[in-house]
Structures are given as structure tokens and as C-alpha cells.
């Protein structure tokens, strides 16, 4: 049995357990996957994390709001991920915890599947937390010429801009950015707004239309107010489910060393 888990807060609707169990079935492996909510367990994140390590669990996914906190608990070999400052995947091995960011690699894979070698152009990212960091670094790697980071916590946005220094041609920080959204080629939601339990859109949907693409990091539900409005306005939309699939495939490979066929996994999840 390969024991896996997810640490996060609003995770009861998560499809991650099914993804990893189905991936295990396709790979001929017996996989268990637990949802671990610190508040319900009466423990803080660090205690839950260490309990998982001590239990012999193989690995963890980390989600909102713990992706940046988890950095202090793991060894991170990739200098880019250390600079990114957030992890969503941890592998336990020989008592050690190794940290990775498959949101970053998964976003790049989802972009290339949708848009091939096209570059993002000018992009606005709403939300500078763990997901926002992964996507911002992904957009920089894909050749975005200008990134505007929007967050009501301006210090958090500035910290992300500083981490990105030199990777993107121009990085701006705003607590609101109507003008930048209208002028952007792409708009990204990396906040929890839109997910189950957090309805609405963090972006005024009346601003949508001039852009050519949008990305929604939320994957539960598969369609959000923002993604529906972006599609209705004529934008090409990458939904959060695409990030979910690609980051999940990358995480499963890290957990098990096995590569699962993407189309077979999609078909299994669609049943």
C-alpha cells in the first residue's frame, strides 16, 4: 500500500483522492489517499505534517493555505522552486521530506497543451499566494513580457515581484488593476474565490473581452463565475481542471516513479 494524503482547509470536495487512486490502478499499484484538515484534527499544520512523516506515509499534496508554510518543512533541491517559495508536493524518503512544485510544472504543461508555443504576452495575475507564485513563475518561463500582480495584501504581492526579479521583463504590483486588466492579453485567477464555499469572482467580469486568454486556478467546481464569463466574452480559457490533471500526473510520478497515460487517466476520471 502506498499511503498518500492532502493537507488543506476547504478540501472535502477535492477530487485528488480519486485521481491518485485511479492513477494507482492504472499503474498496477494499491494507493490510499487521505484528506487531512488541520482544524478538524485539532492540530496545526506542522503537527499534521510530522504525523504523516512518522506514520510511514509515502507523500503529501499541500494546498491552500499551506503551500508557503510547507517550504520550511521540506528539503528543496530545485533552486527555482526555492526561489518560488511555495510547494504543493512532498515525498518522504528515508526520514527526509523533499519538496516540489507540480503546480508550476503542471501550469506550463496545461499552457502548452492549450496554446502550443504561443507566449502569454502581458498578463495580470490576481492572487499572490502559493498558486499565484507557481503560475507567475510559469508565465515568466513561458516568456510573458509583462506581469501585473494584484493582491489586497500589497506586501505579499511585492514579495512575489521581488522573487520574480530578472525572470520577467516587467513586473508591476497593484492592489487593484482595472486599467491593466483591460490592456492585458491574459488574465489569471489564483485566489480561492470561485471554489466551493467561496462563491463569486475576484475579477470584475465587465472588464473581460479585450484579452485573448484566461486561466482559472480553481478546479472545484470545474466551471466558475470567472471562467464562464471569460468564455462568454470570447477568451480562450484554460480551466483549473487542466492544472489539476497535469499537476496530479507530475505528483504521482514523484510519489511512485510511475508514468501514467494522461488520456487513460482522463477517461477513468470521467466514468
From 12, 43, 67, 172, active-site residue: 67
In this prediction, what percent of the chain has a pLDDT beyond 90?
96
Do residues 170 and 148 touch, judged by C-beta distance below 8 A? no
pLDDT digits (tens, 9 = 90+) for 93-111: 999 999 999 999 999 999 9
Q: What is the pLDDT, as a whole number, of residue 206?
A: 97
Pull the grid cell for residue 242: 487542466
In this prediction, what percent of the chain has a pLDDT beyond 70?
100
Establish whether 43 is a catalytic residue. no
Fold of 104-240: Rossmann fold (3.40.50)
Is the torsion defined by CA of 175, 82, 89, 171 positive or negative? positive
Do residues 255 and 22 touch, judged by C-beta distance below 8 A? no
pLDDT digits (tens, 9 = 90+) for 188-220: 999 999 998 899 999 999 999 999 999 999 999
Task: Name the pairing type of β-strands 89-93 and 59-62.
Answer: antiparallel
The ranges of the chain annotated as CATH 3.40.50.10860 are 2-101+243-270
Element counts in the chain: helices (H) and strands (E)? 11, 11
- Global pTM value: 0.95
pLDDT band at 169 (very low <50, low <70, confident <90, very high): confident
The ranges of the chain annotated as CATH 3.40.50.720 are 104-240
Residue 151 CA, distance from chain mean position: 17
pLDDT digits (tens, 9 = 90+) for 9-20: 999 999 999 999
For residue 251, CA distances in Å to 43, 73, 192, 248 come to 25, 18, 21, 5
Fold of 2-101+243-270: Rossmann fold (3.40.50)
Amino acid at each position: 500500500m502506498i499511503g498518500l494524503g492532502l493537507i488543506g482547509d476547504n478540501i472535502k470536495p477535492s477530487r485528488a483522492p480519486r485521481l491518485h487512486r485511479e492513477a494507482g490502478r492504472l499503474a498496477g499499484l494499491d494507493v490510499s489517499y487521505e484528506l487531512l484538515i488541520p482544524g478538524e484534527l485539532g492540530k496545526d499544520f506542522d503537527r499534521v505534517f510530522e504525523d504523516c512523516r512518522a506514520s510511514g506515509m509515502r507523500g503529501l499534496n499541500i494546498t491552500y493555505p499551506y503551500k508557503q508554510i510547507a517550504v520550511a518543512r521540506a528539503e528543496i533541491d530545485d533552486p527555482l522552486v526555492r526561489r518560488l517559495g511555495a510547494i504543493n508536493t512532498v515525498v518522504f524518503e528515508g526520514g527526509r521530506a523533499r519538496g516540489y512544485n507540480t503546480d508550476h510544472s503542471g501550469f506550463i504543461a496545461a499552457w502548452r497543451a492549450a496554446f502550443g508555443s504561443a507566449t502569454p504576452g502581458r498578463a495580470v495575475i490576481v492572487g499572490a499566494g502559493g498558486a499565484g507564485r507557481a503560475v507567475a513563475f510559469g508565465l515568466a518561463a513561458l516568456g510573458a513580457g509583462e506581469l501585473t500582480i494584484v493582491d489586497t495584501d500589497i506586501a505579499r504581492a511585492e514579495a512575489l515581484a521581488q522573487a520574480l526579479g530578472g525572470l520577467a521583463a516587467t513586473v508591476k504590483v497593484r492592489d487593484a488593476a482595472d486599467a491593466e486588466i483591460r490592456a492585458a492579453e491574459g488574465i489569471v485567477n489564483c485566489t480561492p474565490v470561485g471554489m466551493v464555499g467561496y462563491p463569486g469572482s475576484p475579477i470584475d467580469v465587465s472588464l473581460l473581452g479585450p484579452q485573448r486568454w484566461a486561466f482559472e486556478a480553481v478546479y472545484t467546481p470545474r466551471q466558475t463565475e470567472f471562467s464562464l464569463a471569460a468564455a462568454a466574452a470570447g477568451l480562450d480559457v484554460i480551466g483549473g481542471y487542466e492544472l489539476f490533471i497535469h499537476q496530479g500526473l507530475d505528483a504521482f510520478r514523484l510519489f511512485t516513479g510511475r508514468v501514467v497515460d494522461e488520456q487513460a487517466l482522463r477517461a477513468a476520471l470521467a466514468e
